[in-house]
Amino acid sequence: MLDIDEGNLKQGMLGLVIALVEIIKDALKTQAFKRMESGRLSEEEMNRLGEALMELDIAINQIKEEHGVAEAVQSVRDGLDDIVDEVVDKMVNPERWREELETRNIKD
Amino acid sequence: MEATRVRQATIDDLLERVLDKGIILNLDLIIGVAGIPLIGINLRAAIASVETMIEYGFMQSWDEKLRQDAAGELRRKKLALAPGEAILLDMFGSHWYSDGIYRAWRPGRLYLTDRRLILYRQEPAEVLFQTPLAEIQGLMVKEETYFTGIQRDLLYLSLAAGEVVSLYAEDIGGLKSALEEKMAAMGRVPAGDFIPFVRDREIGDVIKERTVADGKMWYQVPSAGIYGPTWRSGWLYLTVERLLWWSDFDRRLGLEIPLGKIQGISLETRDLGGFLHNREVLTIVYRNHQGQEEALFSGEKEITPQWRRQIKEQVLDYEGGDFHA
């Protein structure tokens, strides 16, 4: 998933960093919506928050465009999502462990 | 109720769930060597979104205090406008900043007021770029191609000081028309047909006349001071009036020959020293205040004859020269 060699070092590193920044940004965005819904923020604060998040979006997109790492970022995110999906799936359905173990035993 | 499998649990979902519910960590840890405990760690941590924290009665006063402080700070840091100055447009933008080895796009908020064009960054507060509207001589929107192949419109402004700046804005068309409208109201018509001398996004002089050809060329910079003649890479421009060479190394115009001063153009194979044997060299003989000079150019094998032909044609077209074919 995180396959970094000399040729794609820049793509890989920058892609990784930006993917992490994006994940944090998405988490912040979700929390921002939560806060807005709570009704504790004033009108002015909501505007400010929305504007700042929007600018962050644009700035990140600009960096991705400039360095051509959009694909690398997406692949890092997909990879992380797959891992999370797998782990969550196993936690929700413990019987899958057994299934996996069994298939492994059959192979052996 | 039965647990169903979510087809795709993403990392965003996981984070959201974790922050929403909150995590309490109770950690007791002893680090030891050879069975002897040496360092003890006793950690109690709670991680959750502020909304969840407030719900459970944590951090409420802190949250209010922080927001109050931020509001106060913001009032203090607000963009300083002259009395009576009004903001007409307000959008995200960035400015190509270049000073020595530091060159980057610096993002901020672009404000068009009835007097100035300002790029202001709030955190940390700094005016990244500003110019009075009266100093804008010309403006142009040009599509720039990134090395990734993606194209993006940039706004170029030529200022009174002879400087050319490039700006990116969220709504570049809107900004351009608003600027033009504002300048027209001030009774000035901006020049729209200048071709900025953009080399490696570094901007130097402005060529006002039509450019016939341009491309990468090496030029033998004549000896100066303790340095002997040196080959430097750069960009050669042929216009209807001049032959110009931009030095990538110095990031400025390295040579300028009016077409009328060119006396001869030839292609020769020369030994350039080092491991550059038998290279095809474009030699241009021209007149300057010191007498006759020779400019040596070298480029890709296929394009050098093309350059020779094009320069020759252009010089022949140019009236009043003293070219000897």
Using one digit for the tens of pLDDT, what is the confidence trace for B190-199? 655 443 444 5
Distance CA B288, CA B245 (A): 16
CATH classification code of B209-317: 2.30.29.30
Tell me, yes or no, whether A85 lies in a domain. Answer: yes
Residue B33 has pLDDT above 80, yes or no: yes
Contact: A27, B147; criterion CB under 8 Å? no
Q: What fold, for B87-203?
A: PH-domain like (2.30.29)
Q: Is B175 helix (H, G, I), strand (E, B) or coil?
A: helix
ipTM of this complex prediction, to 2 decimal places? 0.74
Which of B9, B51, B54 is opposite residue A88, by nearest beta carbon? B9
Amino acid at B229: P
Q: What are phi and psi of B224, to 5 degrees?
A: -145, 130
| Domain boundaries, given as residue ranges, for chain B | 11-75, 87-203, 209-317
| B135 DSSP assignment | G
Pairwise CA distance, residues B216 & B104, whole Å = 24
Say whether B10 and A55 touch across the interface (CB within 8 A).
Answer: no
pLDDT at residue B277, as a whole number:
64
On the question of pLDDT at B100 being above 70, the answer is no
Domain presence at residue A60: yes
Q: Find the mean pLDDT for residues B230-259.
A: 79
pLDDT at position B207 is 66
How confident is the model over B175-192, as a mean pLDDT? 78
Tell me, yes or no, if B183 comes closer than 8 A to chain A by beta carbon.
Answer: no
Residues of A in contact with B20 (CB under 8 A): 34
Domains B87-203 and B209-317 share a fold: yes
A63-83 pLDDT, tens digit per residue, is: 888 888 888 899 889 888 888
Beta bridge partners of B230: B221
* Confidence (pLDDT) at B196: 40
Mark yes or no for CB contact A35/B50 under 8 Å.
Answer: yes
Strands in chain B per DSSP E: 23-33, 36-47, 87-99, 102-113, 116-121, 126-132, 136-145, 151-159, 164-169, 195-199, 202-207, 211-221, 230-239, 242-247, 252-258, 262-270, 279-288, 291-298
User: Is B12 in Cβ contact with A30 (below 8 Å)?
Assistant: yes
Q: Check pLDDT > 50 for residue A22.
A: yes
- Find the closest chain B residue to A90 by CA distance: B5
Domain carrying residue A28? 9-107
| Residue A26 scores a pLDDT above 70 | yes
